Every structure is written in C-alpha cells, then in structure tokens.
C-alpha cells in the first residue's frame, strides 16, 4: 500500500511549483506526514546517521543499506535521533523496502517516501528549502505579533483574565489558569469537560488528566496553566511561542502583585496582631485602620485559627536534609489560600486575617443571626471540607481552634487565647487534624492549667505511675489495656473485643491493673481520677 503525495497546486508554497513532487509515494509512516522539516541532508556512508540532529529530511540511494538488516538499523537510528522522514530511490540499489522496515516506520509514524529514479536530489532540495524558508518567515512574523501583543498587555498591567483570553485566541485550545495564591480559576472553554473537572476533582487529579505548565517565580509555584488539548499540539512552535509569552506576562503580573501584597500584608498582619494582643491605644485608630481595608468590625466577634500540624518539624527536616524550603513554603502558601477561599464563603471575603509563621488567624463577626451565633453547622461543615481539601492537595493536616464570641473587636484577645489553647489541647490528646471549639472543650479547659505542671505530673504519677514503666509491645501493656477499657465505658467484654484478646486474658490484666493502682472501679471517684489522669497523660505525651 502506498500514497501519492504533493502532486497538485494545493501542495505548493513559496517557490515550489505544481507537479514538483509528481510520482513521489509514501510507503509507510502516514501518521507522521505533519512533522516539521528543518533541513535536508544526504546519507550514503554506513555511519552517516551519527550526524543527524533532528528535524532532517534524509535523502539516500540506499547504496550502503542494501540488506534488510542495514536498512532496518538505519531507520531505527533516524527515529531515535528524531529525523523527520527519509526519501529513498528504490529503483537504484534496492527493489523494495522490506516489510519489517515499513512496520517499524508505521509504528513510530516515521514517513518513508519513495523517490522516482528520474528526479535529481537537487530538484528536491531547492523546493524543500523554499518551503522551510517560507515557513520560517511566517513563524517569525507570527512570533513578532505574539511578542508585541503580550508586551502590550504587560505595559498596560493587564489582569490574569485578559492574558488568558489572548492566549486562548492564539492557541485556539480550551484552557484554564489556577491561581494558587487566591484559589481562583480562570476558565476559557467551549466544552464542559475542563470546567467540570476543575469544579469537581482535586487539583492534583486535574493535573494528572490534562497537560499543564507550571508558573514559577523565584522557585515558588504560583499557578498552573491547564490545557484541554493533545500534549503534542502544545509542543509545536505555533503553540509554544504564545504559551511562553503568556507565562512571561503572568510573571510580570505576579511580580507587581507580590510587591503590593507584601506592603498590604505587612499592614494587615500588624493590624490583626495589634487587635489580638490588645495593642490598640484608641478605638478611633481601629476604626480608621479597618476602614482602609474595607472591614466591618462592629458588633460581636470571634477568632478562628488554622494551624498547620508538624510544619516546623517538616521545615527543619527539609533544611537539615539539604532539600531546601521552596516545596514546604509552597505548601504553606497553598494552605493559606485554601483557608481564605473556604472561609470567604461565610462572610463574602471581607474579614481581617493575619498570616503567622505556621498558622493563619481570622476574625469573624459573631452576631445572633441564623439563630445562635456564627459558629453553627455551616461553619463546622465548611471547616471540615476545608481540612479535607488541604490534606488532599498538600499532604499536610491542620488543627483549627475556634474561640468563643466576644462582645466587640477589642475583646478579641480573649477569643484568640481560647482558640490557641483549644487547638493546643486537642492536638496534644489527638495528634491534630481536628476542630477545637473552646465552647466544646469541657474538662480540657480545666486541665489546660495543670497539664505539664508539677501538680499535674504528681496527679498523673499517683494514679498511673505503676503502669508508666511497662515497656512491652504496644497493645500488650497494662496501660494500653486501661486506656482501651476506659474508652469502652469500663466494659471488659467490649475491651477484649477491641483489643482482640480472650476475655479471660483481659480479666487477668484488669485484676492486675486494679491491684497495682489500688483502685476500685465500682467507685465513681476512682473512675473519675483515672480518667483525668489518662487525659493528663495524653496531653503530656503530645506536648
């Protein structure tokens, strides 16, 4: 099977006249006929392929490649070195191209073209080079137009949306940009697939499904350009040029935004920190500063803290391991962006917040609307959804502290203290990844003041001391047995099932525990003391 090519006026360009390629036939590799040619070259020596650099239209009489093995080896090398195609005069030294060579060319979409014996190579080189020069001239003109357009956007300080619109017009593909700092998605798509994916899937899954380009500034990941197109199409020069120019325009935009953000962040963080540390001298000062940020601080307020679990230890390990801090810092920036995005849904984005070293602090209005204050089911659901997205996208977990409502913004230091203490308490007892609402902390509020003190340690030692030195494997120690039994509401049968041990084994352990601790589980006072000691132990262990 073969296909005749370039035999009519429609295939002519530049100085190529009609019928120049009359009688040429494609023998194999039809899928690669759209490959670009950068130049033409001859191969007649057995090792001539060593000088192939990619993009060549190779011409040969096949004098040095008359056997099947020799021709197969040549085509394999040309494919490996990314030549564009090969033209062979099959009527001179070989009668036909072996099927194994044709199969290899088809497999890799590498065109093999049969050249009539009567056509001199010079008659091929001139029109091919004319096509190349013509194409390069078009590309140069196109490149200049693209560069001039994006340069104009940068000079005018265009926003992301306009930059993406122009990129879409140049590439003619559906695309989107995800701004990781604001969590905003800019989508330009006529089909519903890409918007649906960005709306329903985690970002990392979207990046696995679609070709994308990362936008980086000083080692920090700022966003993703996502394309609903074949990856190969994006690699051709007609797409590559506008994509690179768009990335340059985006970098200039982010540099400008970074400068504004640094100034605004410093004043914003200082203001919020002044509020939560009672460093405001006059009320009018607070109202004036709040007005400059377009914040309404009137009425009852409450503090919410989103604190990254194990952030400092991960940062320390990265530094000591010589891995750098960019990846960790990118994760922190992404966590802050997700937190701002989710909590903005509750108050339209008009709220004070401050970014700390490993936490972000929010101040929210806490009025009586919706029947019972701001911290309601909607807030809890929002926080739970936020925590899931943070863990999915960054691998980090967060602990969220929520303070009680205060009468006005000047009483926020107390709500901040409650939120901070609440998240520290639950992190000690659970390890993190929880919501710590101060109003729901119960007995932990009382224990916070004594945990880690000499009185707290003495109390813990008095009721757990004989069990704390048991160094058997986890699950077999008497302390594990006690904790499991208490969590099973002091029911031995339930505890035996939970620990997957025989009931008689657990009863034996239980008698030994009671003897060592000198407690009578039938007495409510003894049970209370043991439960408090266990809570203090967990808080002390996680400290």
Q: Which residues pair with 39 in a beta bridge?
A: 56
DSSP 3-state assignment of 28?
strand
Among 48, 106, 95, smallest CA distance to 68 is for: 95
**pLDDT on residue 374:** 46
Task: Work out the pLDDT band at 386, boundaries 50, 70, 90.
Answer: very high
Which helix (H) or strand (E) is 496 found in, with range? Answer: helix 492-499
pLDDT digits over 404-458, tens only? 888 888 899 999 988 988 888 778 777 789 998 888 877 776 776 677 778 888 8
**pLDDT on residue 462:** 85
Q: What average pLDDT does this structure show over 162-191?
A: 92
CB 436 within 8 A of CB 448: no
**Token reading at 16:** 């190529």
How far apart CA 415 and CA 489 sit, in angstroms, is: 33
**Token reading at 183:** 């969590």
How far apart CA 3 and CA 31 sit, in angstroms, is: 12
How far apart CA 357 and CA 363 sit, in angstroms, is: 18
pLDDT digits over 496-539, tens only? 998 888 999 989 989 998 988 888 888 888 888 888 888 888 77
């Amino acid at each position: 099977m073969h296909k005749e090519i370039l035999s009519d006026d429609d295939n002519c360009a530049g100085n190529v006249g009609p019928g120049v390629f009359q009688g040429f036939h494609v023998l194999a590799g039809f899928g690669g006929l759209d490959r670009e040619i950068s130049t033409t070259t001859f191969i007649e020596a057995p090792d001539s392929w060593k000088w192939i650099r990619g993009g060549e239209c190779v011409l040969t009489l096949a004098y040095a490649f008359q056997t099947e093995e020799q021709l197969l080896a040549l085509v394999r090398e040309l494919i490996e070195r990314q030549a564009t195609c090969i033209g062979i005069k099959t009527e001179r030294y070989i009668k036909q191209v072996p099927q194994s060579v044709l199969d290899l060319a088809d497999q890799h979409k590498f065109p093999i073209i049969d050249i009539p014996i009567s056509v001199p190579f010079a008659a091929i080189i001139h029109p091919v080079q004319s096509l190349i020069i013509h194409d390069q001239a078009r590309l140069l003109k196109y490149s200049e137009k693209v560069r001039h357009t994006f340069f104009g956007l940068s000079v005018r300080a265009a926003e992301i949306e306009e930059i993406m619109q122009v990129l879409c017009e140049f590439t003619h593909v559906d695309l989107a940009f995800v701004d990781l700092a604001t969590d905003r998605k800019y989508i330009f798509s006529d089909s519903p697939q890409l918007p649906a994916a960005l709306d329903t899937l985690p970002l990392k899954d979207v990046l696995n499904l679609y070709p994308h380009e990362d936008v980086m500034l000083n080692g920090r990941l700022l966003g993703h350009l996502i394309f609903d197109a074949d990856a190969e199409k994006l690699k051709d020069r007609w797409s590559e040029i506008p994509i690179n120019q768009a990335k340059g325009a985006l970098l200039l935009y982010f540099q400008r935004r970074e400068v504004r953000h640094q100034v605004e962040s410093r004043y914003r963080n200082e203001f919020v920190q002044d509020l939560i540390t009672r460093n405001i001298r006059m009320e009018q000062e607070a109202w004036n500063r709040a007005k400059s940020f377009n914040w309404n601080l009137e009425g009852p307020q409450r503090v919410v803290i989103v604190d990254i679990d194990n952030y400092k230890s991960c940062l320390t390990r990265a530094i000591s391991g010589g891995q750098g801090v960019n990846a960790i810092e990118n994760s922190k920036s992404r966590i802050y962006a997700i937190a701002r995005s989710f909590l903005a849904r509750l108050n339209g984005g008009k709220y004070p917040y401050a970014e700390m070293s490993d936490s972000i602090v929010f101040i929210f209005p806490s009025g009586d609307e919706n029947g019972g204050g701001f911290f309601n089911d909607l807030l809890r659901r929002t926080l739970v959804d936020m925590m899931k997205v943070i863990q999915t996208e960054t691998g980090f977990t967060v602990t969220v502290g929520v303070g009680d409502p205060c009468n006005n913004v000047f009483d926020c230091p107390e709500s901040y203290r409650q939120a901070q203490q609440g998240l520290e308490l639950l992190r000690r007892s659970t390890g993190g990844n929880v919501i710590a609402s101060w109003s729901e902390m119960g007995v932990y509020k009382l224990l916070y003041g004594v945990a880690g003190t000499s009185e707290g340690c003495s109390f813990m030692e008095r009721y757990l001391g004989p069990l704390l030195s048991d160094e058997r494997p986890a699950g077999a120690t008497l302390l594990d047995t006690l904790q499991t039994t208490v969590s099973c509401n002091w029911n031995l049968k339930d505890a035996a099932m939970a620990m997957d041990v025989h009931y008689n084994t657990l009863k034996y352990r239980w008698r030994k525990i009671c003897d060592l601790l000198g407690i009578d589980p039938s007495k409510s006072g003894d049970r209370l003391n043991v439960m408090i000691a266990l809570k203090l132990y967990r808080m002390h262990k996680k400290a």
